[in-house]
């Protein structure tokens, strides 16, 4: 058995993955929201028995090694080493012979480890006296200095460089480390000089970059961050996620603030599920990284104009990713760090607990802006909210939110309905075939009924024969097989059906049946409604096609054809 197999036998994929994904046990498998694509209902599954993961949404699949490689962005060797380290298993000597990419990245990790220790020692040593006083004055406790590994880059501009050179790192490694800069004459210097250092770690706690806050008020750049390197992609990393994720999963909540000091302030107040984007605008990758731990996000950005703009941009992205957003408001225009210092941790806890959902927060802003005593003012306020509501991807959610907000603002429900009718009409004009959503639901309702419930089968199966819309489904062959088996009088069960269909469809069928088992299942009435919807869908498609053929016949002057099509239309309508 080679080392990889040996390691695989000792590592449990469920335990490894649950560091990154909220998993729920369903029978003998585990299920959760896929960390590799955006989804609302879980299609990500892990088989504990077979030590294998699979997503039916994006088709990501593999063993524990592929999982770690994908989620951490590691090479195979790094994943192997990480898992071995984590489980206290020693790597055999020959497996250290890895590829070049891995060796370079290993050198970068090592340089960052050295830099981390170097900065920390500086802050703890005699040269760090005044900076330690400054840090304490800003309210950072000694425990936090240790916890976050704060450090000091001195003003010499060569100390770290010399250390790295002494440890034998080559110029070509130094150059891509992000830790040094290069002068025109080719000589190097320390990137971070005279700065308070905040180490930035990846999700498994390895230092991959640094943020430096200027100590000299004359310094033009207040904050300086590491550039992107082979081990640091800014858009993927959130400051403190490595420490925050445990509480985030436990409380099912995550707090997003803007800066390093805000994270430390909130942490000291006992809000440990707090992260910050490292001085960049929030990205989709960062949102997905948070979402793996909790879908409930509390946004606590600075109340100044820049913060408000950042919040607005971020919210659009967050809603696109189906994250549930609440807005934390702090009175007095304070940022989280200042607020915790002035009002104490308990008060900050209350602000977080009392945070309004994004839409109610927005509605309150509308109330403050328009004259709510006048009917027209209430309508204006509602209009003000509409673009945000329109931004929601899910139609049902859009309607539900609109209704909630209308009643919150005291607007007649009729107005909401009118608006949505108009928007729906516009959409139908623009997009002729909005089919996929209902079709997907069709599989998920009909197949479990037909497979598991003989009474439902008796009522439904004959009705399925003359529905052309069924042919549009990717699972159409499964329905065909079902009908054939039914006509031949064969016993229908999951296993007999499963055995008769091609492999890709076997996976889909298994996923649908497993999901239905977890969700409580549909009733025969649901099945009948589904059949009716398919019929309606077919009628509508036919009408739409006829109309479009009439239009093009008219446009191209084929009037006889247009006339005969119009007759067909009046017959089928
Ligand atoms: Zn997926």
Tell how far the Cα of 37 is from the centroid of ligand 1, in angstroms: 4
Task: Give the whole-angstrom CA distance, residue 443 versus residue 139.
Answer: 58
Interval between CA 428 and ligand 1 midpoint (Å): 29
525 CA to middle of ligand 1, Å? 31
Residue 64 CA, ligand 1 centroid: distance in Å:
16
The residues pairing with 53 across neighbouring beta strands, listed in sequence order, are 46, 62
Sign of torsion over alpha carbons 537, 542, 544, 545: positive
Q: Rounded to an integer, what distance in angstroms lies between the CA atom of residue 166 and that of residue 157? A: 16
How far, in Å, CA of 332 to CA of 306, rounded?
16
Q: Which of 36, 14, 40 is nearest to 26 (CA)?
A: 14
Residue carrying structure tokens 């607005």: 312
**Cα separation, 461 vs 404, whole angstroms:** 40
At 566 the pLDDT is 78
Query: 35 C-alpha vs ligand 1 centroid, how far in Å?
Result: 6
Distance CA 41, CA 31 (A): 10
- Residue 384 is predicted with a pLDDT of 83
Residue 168's φ and ψ, nearest 5 degrees, are 90, 15
Tell which residue, 297, 152, 285, has the closest CA to residue 215: 152
Distance of CA 477 from the midpoint of ligand 1 (Å): 24
Tell me what pLDDT residue 422 has. Answer: 67
The pLDDT of residue 431 is: 45
* Residues with pLDDT less than 70, the chain: 1, 93-98, 303-307, 415, 417, 419-440, 514-521, 572-573
- How close is the Cα of 505 to the center of ligand 1, in Å? 17
Question: DSSP for 369-430?
Answer: HS-TTSHHHHHHHHHHHHHHHHT-S-HHHHHHHHHHHHHHHT--HHHHHHHHHHHHHHHHHH
Query: What is the value of pTM for the model shown?
Result: 0.65
The per-residue pLDDT for 96 is 56
| Separation of alpha carbons 513 and 501, rounded Å | 15
Contacts of 503 (CB under 8 A, 6+ apart): none
Q: How far apart are the C-alpha atoms of 150 and 131, rounded to whole Å? A: 11
pLDDT at position 214 = 93
Cα 33 to ligand 1 centre (Å): 8
CA of 58 to the centre of ligand 1 (A): 4
Ligand 1 center–CA 279 separation, angstroms: 29
Q: Are 255 and 274 in contact (CB under 8 A)?
A: yes
pLDDT digits (tens, 9 = 90+) for 144-169: 999 999 999 998 889 999 999 999 99
pLDDT digits (tens, 9 = 90+) for 262-285: 999 999 999 999 999 877 788 988
The alpha carbon of 530 and the centre of ligand 1 are apart by a number of angstroms equal to 27
Q: What is the 293 CA–ligand 1 centroid distance (Å)?
A: 15
Tell me if 198 sits within 8 A of 239, measured CB to CB.
Answer: yes
From ligand 1's centre to the CA of 315, what distance in Å? 23
- Say what the pLDDT of residue 520 is: 54
Buried b (16+ CB within 10 A) or exposed e, 15-33: ebbebbbbbeebeebbbbb
Q: 45 alpha carbon to ligand 1 midpoint, in Å?
A: 10
- From the CA of 53, how far away is ligand 1's center (Å)? 10
Distance between Cα 42 and ligand 1 center (Å):
9
Give pLDDT, residue 507: 76
Q: Across-strand partners of 503? A: none
**pLDDT value of position 93:** 64
**Separation between Cα atoms, residue 164 and residue 159, nearest integer Å:** 9
CA of 86 to the centre of ligand 1 (A): 26
* Ligand 1 centroid – CA 52 distance (Å): 14
CA of 112 to the centre of ligand 1 (A): 33
């Amino acid at each position: 058995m080679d080392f990889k197999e040996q390691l695989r036998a000792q590592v449990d994929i469920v335990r490894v993955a649950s560091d990154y994904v909220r998993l729920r046990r369903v029978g003998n498998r585990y299920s959760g929201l896929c960390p590799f694509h955006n989804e609302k209902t879980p299609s990500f599954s892990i088989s504990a028995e077979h030590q294998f993961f699979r997503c039916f949404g994006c088709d990501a699949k593999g063993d524990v090694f592929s999982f770690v490689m994908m989620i951490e962005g590691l090479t195979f060797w790094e994943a192997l080493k990480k898992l071995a380290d984590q489980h206290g298993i020693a790597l055999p000597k020959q497996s250290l012979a890895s590829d070049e990419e891995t060796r370079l990245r290993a050198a970068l990790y090592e340089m960052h480890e050295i830099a981390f220790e170097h900065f920390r020692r500086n802050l703890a040593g005699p040269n760090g006296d005044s900076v330690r006083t400054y840090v304490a004055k800003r309210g950072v406790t000694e425990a936090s200095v240790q916890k976050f590994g704060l450090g000091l880059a001195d003003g010499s501009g060569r100390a770290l460089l010399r250390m790295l050179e002494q440890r034998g790192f080559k110029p070509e490694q130094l150059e891509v480390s992000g830790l040094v800069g290069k002068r025109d004459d080719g000589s190097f210097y320390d990137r971070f000089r005279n700065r308070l250092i905040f180490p930035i770690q990846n999700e498994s706690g390895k230092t991959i970059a640094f943020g430096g806050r200027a100590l000299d008020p004359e310094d033009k750049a207040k904050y300086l961050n590491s550039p992107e390197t082979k081990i640091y992609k800014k858009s993927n990393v959130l400051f403190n996620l490595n420490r925050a994720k445990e509480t985030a999963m436990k409380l099912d909540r995550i707090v997003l603030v803007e800066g390093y000091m805000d994270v430390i302030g909130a942490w000291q107040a006992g809000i440990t599920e707090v992260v910050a984007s490292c001085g960049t605008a929030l990205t989709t990758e960062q949102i997905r990284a948070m979402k793996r731990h909790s879908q409930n996000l509390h946004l606590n950005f600075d109340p100044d104009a820049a913060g408000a703009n950042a919040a607005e941009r971020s919210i659009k992205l967050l809603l696109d990713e189906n994250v549930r957003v609440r807005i934390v408001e702090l009175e007095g225009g304070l940022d989280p760090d200042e607020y915790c210092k002035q009002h104490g941790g308990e008060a900050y806890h209350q602000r977080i607990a009392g945070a309004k959902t994004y839409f109610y927060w927005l509605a309150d802003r509308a109330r403050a802006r328009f004259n709510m005593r006048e009917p027209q003012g209430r309508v204006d306020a509602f209009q003000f909210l509409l673009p945000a509501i329109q931004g929601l991807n899910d139609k049902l959610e859009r309607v539900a939110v609109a209704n909630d907000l209308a009643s919150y603002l005291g607007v007649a429900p009729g107005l909401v309905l009118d608006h949505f009718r108009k928007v729906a009409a516009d959409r139908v004009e623009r997009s002729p075939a909005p089919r996929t959503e209902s079709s997907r639901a069709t599989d998920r309702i009909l197949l479990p009924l037909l497979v598991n419930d003989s009474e439902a089968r008796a009522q439904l199966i004959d009705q399925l024969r003359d529905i052309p819309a069924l042919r549009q489904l990717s699972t159409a062959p499964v329905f065909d097989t079902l009908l054939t088996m039914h006509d031949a009088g064969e016993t229908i069960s999951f296993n007999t059906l499963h055995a008769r269909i091609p492999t890709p469809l076997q996976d889909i069928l298994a996923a649908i049946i497993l999901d239905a088992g977890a969700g409580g299942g549909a009733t025969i009435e649901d099945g009948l409604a589904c059949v009716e919807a398919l019929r309606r869908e077919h009628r509508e498609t036919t009408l739409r096609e006829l109309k479009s053929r009439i239009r093009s016949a008219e446009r191209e002057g084929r009037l006889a054809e247009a006339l005969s099509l119009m007759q067909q239309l009046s017959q089928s309508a």
